[in-house]
């Protein structure tokens, strides 16, 4: 094969997530769509999920997760990755858990969220330099929601995006590689929840989103509504054809997801009519970007 007829190398997408199951509840349809189109898609899972509780009543009596939650979740992650058609790598840290109480107890020694940033980011920098993604996806500064591991996943993703292209930083973790674009996932977009809520209401069905929407719309003592999200949607990926794949992947995380629960309240068909996108904020771009976008790889193709 001559050089001129060599097929182009595939585009590469790296999504950084805190726990096994996060990849299937945030951006999964996007990843499945790109993977089906030939993009090389990888999920970096920062922690082992070992401190996750059993969220599915049907799993309560099963011995494996009670004896070895990390092992059970590793198997679940393997199955979900196969459903999505993606690659997955473990970054290697221990789940910090979600502290509860007043005052909050300290995080467990040695857990992911207690690590110094350079130590926590080094394995991800190594992965970025070896996988060479063109696009990275992570959470916002609040972690999407304020779980300590989600906030740390945000921090290490931003650090890796900034540092991986600098040969003087993180020596010994491979040859420098500079990703082109960094996005924050907006899986908890109020606009999306509002659209799904009204779609259910119009169909005469009960909405699980009413309480969440009411909290977002609640005014303070002076009549102010909450400020808008710090990172507005810049990019909507039309991936409705892959909502069933996303749901199938999420169901593979049996310890964490109730198949009769919140995530499955709206049928894929109704979601395609009301909100057929997954939403992202473009945070950094090293290539020219024209907003709004419909493609995470706009400017890179």
- Check whether 95 has a pLDDT greater than 50: yes
Closest Cα partner for 100 from 148, 34, 63? 148
Average pLDDT of the chain to the nearest whole number: 92
CATH superfamily placement of domain 10-188+276-285:
LmbE-like (3.40.50.10320)
Supply 87's token pair. 């690659």
Residue 149's CB is within 10 A of a number of other CB atoms, namely 26
Model confidence over 139-173: pLDDT tens digits? Answer: 999 998 889 999 999 999 999 999 999 999 999 99
Instruction: Say whether pLDDT at 220 is over 60.
Output: no
Within a 10 A sphere around the Cβ of 232, how many other Cβ atoms? 13
pLDDT band at residue 252, thresholds of 50, 70 and 90?
Answer: very high
pLDDT of residue 102: 86
* pLDDT bucket at 225, cuts 50 / 70 / 90: low
Residue 32 to residues 182, 244, 257, 285, Cα–Cα distance (Å): 19, 10, 19, 23
Average pLDDT of the segment spanning 241-253? 98
Largest Cα span, the chain: 71
pLDDT at residue 82 greater than cutoff 90:
yes
The answer to whether residue 227 scores a pLDDT higher than 60 is no
89 token code pair: 């790598």
Three-state helix/strand/coil letters over the chain: CCHHHCCCCCCEEEEEECCCCHHHHCCHHHHHHHHHCCCEEEEEEEECCCCCCCCCHHHCCCHHHHHCHHHHHHHHHHHHHHHHCCEEEEEEECCCCCCCCCCCCCCCCCCHHHCCHHHHHHHHHHHHHHHCCCEEEECCCCCCCCCHHHHHHHHHHHHHHHHCCCCCCCCCCCCCCCCCEEEEECCCCHHHHHHHHHHHHHCCCCCCCHHHHHHHHCCCCCCCCCCCCCCCCCEEEECHHHHHHHHHHHHCCCCCCCCCCHHHCCCHHHHHHHCCEEEEEEEEECCCCCCCECCCCCCCC
Q: Give the integer Cα–Cα distance in Å for 264 and 250.
A: 10
Residue 262 has pLDDT above 90, yes or no: no
| Mean per-residue pLDDT, 35-52 | 97
Between CA 163 and CA 172 the distance in angstroms is: 13
Dihedral sign computed on CA atoms, order 124, 118, 279, 143? positive
Which distant-in-sequence residues (6+ apart) come within 8 Å of 284 by Cβ?
A: 161, 181, 182
Please state whether the peptide bond connecting residue 103 to the residue before it is cis, i.e. omega within 30 degrees of 0. yes
pLDDT of residue 74: 98
Average of pLDDT values for 67-72? Answer: 96
Cα 128 to Cα 23, 29, 132, 162, 178, distances in angstroms = 17, 22, 5, 11, 8
pLDDT at 1: 44
- Which residue would you say has higher pLDDT here, 104 or 51? 51
Report domain extents, the chain. Answer: 10-188+276-285, 190-228
CA–CA dist 237, 278 (Å, integer): 5
The distance of Cα 11 from the centroid of its chain, to the nearest Å, equals 19
Q: Once rounded to an integer, what is the mean pLDDT over residues 209-221?
A: 68
Look up residue 193 and give its two tokens.
């929840």
CA-based nearest residue to 71, from 52, 85, 46, 56: 52
> What is residue 9's predicted lDDT score, i.e. its pLDDT?
80
């Amino acid at each position: 094969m001559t050089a001129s007829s060599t097929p182009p190398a595939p585009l590469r997408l790296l999504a950084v997530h805190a726990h096994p199951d996060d990849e299937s509840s945030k951006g999964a349809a996007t990843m499945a769509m790109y993977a089906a189109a030939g993009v090389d898609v990888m999920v970096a899972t920062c922690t082992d999920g070992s401190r996750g509780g059993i969220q599915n009543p049907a799993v309560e009596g099963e011995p494996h997760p009670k004896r070895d939650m990390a092992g059970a979740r590793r198997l679940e992650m393997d199955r979900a990755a196969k459903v999505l058609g993606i690659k997955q790598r473990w970054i290697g840290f221990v789940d910090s858990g979600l502290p509860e109480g007043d005052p909050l107890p300290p995080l467990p020694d040695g857990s992911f969220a207690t690590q110094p940033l350079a130590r926590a980011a080094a394995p991800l920098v190594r992965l970025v330099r070896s996988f060479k993604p063109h696009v990275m996806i992570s959470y916002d500064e609040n972690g999407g929601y304020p779980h300590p591991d989600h906030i740390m996943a945000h921090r290490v993703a931003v650090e890796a995006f900034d540092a991986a292209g600098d040969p003087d930083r993180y020596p010994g973790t491979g040859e420098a590689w500079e990703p082109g674009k960094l996005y924050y996932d907006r899986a908890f977009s109020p606009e999306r929840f509002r659209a799904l809520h009204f779609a259910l209401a119009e169909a005469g069905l009960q909405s699980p989103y009413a309480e969440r929407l009411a909290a977002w719309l609640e005014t303070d003592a002076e009549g102010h509504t909450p400020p808008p999200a710090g990172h507005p949607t810049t990019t909507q990926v039309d991936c409705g054809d892959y909502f069933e794949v996303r749901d199938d992947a999420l169901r593979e995380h049996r310890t964490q997801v109730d198949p009769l629960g919140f995530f499955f309240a709206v049928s894929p068909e109704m979601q395609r009519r009301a909100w057929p996108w997954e939403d992202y904020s473009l945070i950094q771009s090293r290539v020219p970007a024209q907003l709004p976008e419909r493609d995470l790889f706009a400017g890179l193709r």
